[in-house]
Structure 1
Amino acid sequence: MKLTNKTWIYLWEEWAKPILVAVLLALLIRTFIAQPFKIPSSSMYPTLKIGDRIFVNKFIYGAKVPFTGIKLPKLRDPKLGDIVVFLSPIEKKKYLVKRYIAGEGDTIRITDGELFINGKAIQGSPFNKFFYYGRGEFGVENKVITVPEGSFYALGDNSANSLDSRYW
C-alpha cells in the first residue's frame, strides 16, 4: 500500500499534530507548573507515607528554566510548615521531600526536646510529634543555629528516620 500526499496530510492533521501538541503541553506543565513525585521513604511519616504520590507546585517559589540557570519570579517565599521538594545537597540528582522550618537569618534551637524558631516555641507541628534531635550541632541542647544566607532549614516529620538539614 502506497501512502499518498493526502494520506500523509491526514495522518499529520489527525494524529501526529495532536500528539505533538499534547507532548509539548505536558513538558511545559511539568517544567514550569507542576511535577509529580513518588514518596520513596518514611522521612515524612505520618504526613506522607512510602508510595504516596504528590504534585509539586513549581511556580509558587519560582520555577527554573532548564539548561539556563534562569529562575522565574516567585509568587512567595516558603512559610513555616510548608512541604518543600528540593535537590539533595549531598546526592545532587536526588530529590528530597521535607518540611520547611526556617529561612536565611532565622535561628533554630532545641530546649528539652522542644523546637524554637527565632525564639518562639513551635507547638502542634508534625516535626514536634516525632522529633529526634541528636544529630550534629542541631543535637546540642540549647545550641542556637543561624540559617546561613541563601539557605533554608528543612526537617522530615519522622525526624528519627530523615536525611535532612541536620546533616548538611
Structure 2
Amino acid sequence: MNLQPILGNFALILFVAMLVTGVIWFLDVFVLSRQRRAKADAALAEYDAHRSKLTADGIKVDSGNRAALEASILRQPTWVEYSGSFFPVIALVFFLRSFLFEPFKIPSSSMVPTLLVGDLILVNKFDYGIRLPVINKKIVEVGNPQRGDVMVFKYPKDMSQDYIKRVIGVPGDKITYENKRLSVNGVPVQYEAMDDYLDDERPVYHKQFVEKLANAPHRILNMEGQRTINLAAVDPDFPHHENCTYSYDKFTCIVPEGNYFMMGDNRDNSADSRYWGFVPDQNIVGKAVFVWMNFGNLKRIGGIH
C-alpha cells in the first residue's frame, strides 16, 4: 500500500520553508533590524535638530510626528514580517512531525480490516529510534519493531514511496506461510474464525479470522479461490532472495539481520514481502498508532491494533 502523506513530500517542503524563513528571521534580528535602528537614530537626530531650530524661531512643532517617523523607519518590510511570523510555527511543526508524530492517509485496501481507505493515521516517529529528518538516518537507538506492529516504511523498490504493513518477522525469524496460515520459527500461529467480512468496495464477502501473532492479535482477511501466493508476481531479484523458497501453496523465508518481513492484513490483496522482499532497518519511518479521522466514517477514530 503506497501511503499518501498529508501534503506530498512534506518533510522536504517543511525543511526548505523552515530554512528560508529561519535565514530571513536570523538576518533581520542580527543585521536588518540594527540597520533600521541606525537609520532611525540618524533621522531622529536630524528631526530633533530641525525641530530645535523651528522652536528657536518661535514655530510650534507637533511632537507626534517624531514617533510616527520612528515607527515608519523601524517597520519591518512585509516579506520580513511574514517570515518572522511563520518561522517559529514552521519550526515547531517540523520538529513535531520529524521526531514525534507524522500524519498519513490510507489510499488502498491492503490493510483491511485493520485500516480502511480514507483513514487518516498518526505514525509514532520515536518508538523505533530517533532519525534525522529528510535523510532518515538513525542517530539514537530507542527500540525495535516487534512482531504484530503496524509499521510505515520506505518501499525498498522506490524510496520516494511510503508503505504500511504488519511486521510478521524480525531479524533471524523463519517465516512459513502455507495454505494461508503462518508459522514463525516452526510454531504455528493460532487462528480464530469470525463472521465473514463484507467488502467495502464491492458486494463480496471474505473469510475473516483473528490471527494471534505474538502479543498482538489482529483481524485478517482471506479470499476464497485465491492461491496462497501468486508465483508470477514474485520479484526474483530482491535482496536476500536466496533466503526464501517458494512453491504453489507454500513459501518459507529466513529474515536476514537488519531486516523485517512485512505482510498486509488483507492477505490476498496485498503486495508485500512475499513479492518484493525484506524491509531494511534504514527504511523504517515509524509505528502506526492511531486513526485520528475518517471523514466518511467517524467511528473509525481510535487506536490501531
Q: Does 1:39 align with 2:98?
A: no
Q: Structure 1 residue aligned with 2:188, among 118, 121, 124?
A: 121
CA–CA distance in 1 between the matches of 2:155 and 2:253? 20
Matched with 1:96 is 163
CA–CA distance in 2 between the matches of 1:83 and 1:23? 29
**Larger fraction in helix:** 2
**Larger fraction in strand:** 2
Unaligned runs of 5+ in 1: none
TM-score w.r.t. length of structure 2: 0.48
CA–CA distance in 2 between the matches of 1:104 and 1:47? 24
Q: Does 1:150 align with 2:262?
A: no
SS of residue matched to 1:51 = coil
Per-residue CA deviation, residues 23-73 of structure 1 (Å, 9 max, x unaligned), is 101011111211111011100001101110111101111242135563122
CA–CA distance in 2 between the matches of 1:127 and 1:146? 24
CA–CA distance in 1 between the matches of 2:275 and 2:219? 16
1:40/1:18 CA distance change after superposition, 3 Å: same
Q: Does 1:134 align with 2:229?
A: yes
CA–CA distance in 1 between the matches of 2:95 and 2:179? 48
CA–CA distance in 2 between the matches of 1:85 and 1:67? 15
Matched with 1:165 is 273
SS of residue matched to 1:19 = helix
Counterpart of 2:72, as a letter, is T
Counterpart of 1:153, as a letter, is F
SS of residue matched to 2:93 = helix
Percent identity (aligned): 35
Asked if the contact 2:181/2:189 (under 8 Å) is kept, the reply is yes
Per-residue CA deviation, residues 68-115 of structure 1 (Å, 9 max, x unaligned), is 563122321111110000011122211111000111110011344320
SS of residue matched to 1:89 = coil
Asked if the contact 1:34/1:58 (under 8 Å) is kept, the reply is yes
Counterpart of 1:162, as a letter, is S
TM-score w.r.t. length of structure 1: 0.83
- Higher mean alpha-carbon deviation, 73-82 vs 52-61, is at 73-82
CA–CA distance in 2 between the matches of 1:37 and 1:68? 18
1:55/1:139 CA distance change after superposition, 3 Å: farther
Matched with 1:5 is 73
Aligned residue-pair number: 165
Per-residue CA deviation, residues 113-146 of structure 1 (Å, 9 max, x unaligned), is 3200112222232465437631444555454320
Q: Does 1:64 align with 2:131?
A: yes
CA–CA distance in 1 between the matches of 2:107 and 2:186? 33
Unaligned runs of 5+ in 2: 1-68, 191-209, 212-217, 232-244, 277-305
Asked if the contact 1:127/1:155 (under 8 Å) is kept, the reply is no
RMSD: 2.8
Counterpart of 2:228, as a letter, is Y
Matched with 1:50 is 117
